[in-house]
Chain A
């Protein structure tokens, strides 16, 4: 899932200060935490309260889309509301959402509500969400026992661990597991410790030409 953090309400209020009719669009897709209709409605109400303190009255229209990064779905779902006259849009999706809407409605200002931070997995019981994939374009999980050193090692080492690994923790903070300690532990369980004897050549980050694009 794509992990996001909400921007401070003051920043959002500043975005929409010049406008009255504002659409708040949630995203039911992979945005984490879920930014669906509940969040869209709650945000509109919080902004209404915040607006009152600034003597500013907004007219919010609240909506949620299946996934804002799909141009066709978004275009069809937004058409009616956009045609009825909306001065600005607040998107609750990851950074992809606002950009999809901007392409569809180039004349309407679109603002992000969320700061998009990483591709993460949620450990429900522990109550944490952690970065686990760096979208590098050349997956090496098959060699590393299913644990990604690109995303989970602070140095993205291919031949770890480094000297900063102590008691399974990373030198940048005791709250962070050393990815390579996890990899070794895992390979040991799998009986694949010999994987470590092969020195991995420097990673070819050129596999994905940035900005990346895929066409059929």
Chain B
């Protein structure tokens, strides 16, 4: 991992001098990254604790917090672009944590054609974005948040729920109907197929929430109330008896096949924890690199890594959060061991250097770019796989 100096570019900044000291941000921050320094009479941001959820950004009444990803400007640009691209006046804003595939959205909200906007936590969407969307001519807005207990940023889902309630009240007074913005909640869970279970107990051991139980051999049961959808058990199951909503094995396999055909050599596939790296909404795609965003690095399945090489990918970079930043009780760190075992085995046939593993945080926006360029350079030097 690269060293961060004090000059490293950071994703969140606070204009301390313009701050009204209301401390709303500090009361909302799930990670205690913001606090009021009574002595200096300032609100201080500790970037090392910040997870770039954006709750403070959306709630700041003085608009003195700058955020790099999904700020009002970039969201507005996206909406303008996407409205034309999708030729629709229906907007669906989804949290990455709970968004099923687009067909799932159709089922949940009963909409077929819509402008999709996926963000890491809907709690970062301020009122401005909804109002700008309505001004732009967007007729219906649907918001999909995580079930409150499963919000990766603790307060994101409940805060946005209250924000939408207040907005709807205002909008109804203006004559936009009673529920101008429709909010639903969802969470993605593990599916167990006990017909395939061989009773090894890996899921029971690895689950951070003790959701799976194995009462008798081959009869795995998952308490869905406890499951947080990290997908670690799926990656650890030797019998493929578990699967995860939205990140099903078949779906990821299909995605790998599709991405492998549309890339130019050397082909780099980044399997990213969706909380470790946020893609830039404005970024142009690079023909050598494709991403698969996972619910947690815990779902970075060795089976998919090998599969990617078989399908002609030249390098696979696994992007995880550092242990302290993991939103899923350290699930992301647990896959390091199977991945390093696989790296050793790939090493025996000359593929070992084609796997990369890095831990990064969106708080340092250049960190991922650096890791990716180093890895890409390494793969380009090794040359194409056979």
Which A residues fall within an 8 A CB radius of B? Answer: 6, 8-10, 13, 28, 33-39, 41-42, 45-46, 48-50, 52-53, 64, 124
Contact = CB atoms under 8 A, between A and B. Distances in A.
Nearest to A64: B239
A34 B349 contact: no
Nearest to B347: A9
B307 A45 contact: yes
A35 B345 CA distance: 15
Closest 6 CB pairs of A and B: A34-B238, A50-B349, A28-B198, A52-B386, A36-B238, A9-B348
Nearest to A45: B306
A124 B204 CA distance: 11
Interface string B206-247: 000000000000000000000000000000011110000000
Interface string B82-94: 0000000000000
B351 A49 contact: yes
Contact of A41 (B200, B237, B303, B309): B303
Contacts of B279: none
B23 interface: no
A34 B202 contact: yes
Given A36-B198, A52-B386, A42 B306 contact: yes
B22 to A, nearest CB: 47
A36 to B, nearest CB: 4
B369 interface: no
Interface of B: 196, 198, 200, 202, 205, 237-240, 302-303, 306-307, 309-310, 342, 345-346, 348-351, 385-386
B200 A34 contact: yes
Contact of A37 (B240, B302, B307, B310): B240
Contacts of A6: 345
A34 B351 CA distance: 24
Given A34-B198, A48-B310, 11 more contacts: A10-B348, A13-B349, A36-B200, A36-B238, A37-B239, A38-B303, A39-B238, A42-B303, A49-B385, A50-B350, A53-B349
B316 to A, nearest CB: 12
Contact of A49 (B196, B200, B303, B349): B349
Contacts of A9: 345, 348-349
A64 B196 CA distance: 11
A13 B385 CA distance: 18
Contacts of B310: 45, 48-49
Contacts of A50: 348-350
Contacts of B342: 42
A129 to B, nearest CB: 13
B237 A8 contact: no
A179 B291 CA distance: 52
B239 A36 contact: yes
A50 B385 CA distance: 11
B349 A46 contact: yes
Given A41-B303, A45-B310, A53-B350, A33 B238 contact: yes
A40 to B, nearest CB: 10
Given A28-B198, A42-B302, A49 B238 contact: no
Contacts of B198: 28, 34, 36
B348 A38 contact: no
Nearest to B301: A38
B238 A46 contact: no
B236 to A, nearest CB: 9
18 contacts: A34-B198, A34-B238, A38-B239, A38-B240, A38-B303, A39-B238, A41-B303, A45-B306, A45-B307, A45-B309, A46-B306, A49-B309, A49-B351, A49-B385, A50-B348, A52-B385, A53-B386, A124-B205
Contacts of B306: 42, 45-46, 49
Contacts of A53: 349-350, 386
A73 to B, nearest CB: 14
A100 to B, nearest CB: 18
Nearest to B205: A124
Contacts of A35: 238
A45 to B, nearest CB: 4
A40 B345 CA distance: 14
A46 B386 contact: no
Nearest to B196: A37
B307 to A, nearest CB: 6
Nearest to B351: A49
A120 B102 CA distance: 47
A124 B337 CA distance: 13
A105 to B, nearest CB: 24
Instruction: With a 10 A CB-CB cut-off, give which of B196, B238, B306 has the most chain A CB atoms.
Output: B238
Contacts of B351: 49
A28 B234 CA distance: 17
A45 B345 CA distance: 12
B346 A46 contact: yes
A50 B351 CA distance: 9
Nearest to B238: A34
A50 B310 CA distance: 10
Contacts of B346: 46, 49
A45 B205 CA distance: 27
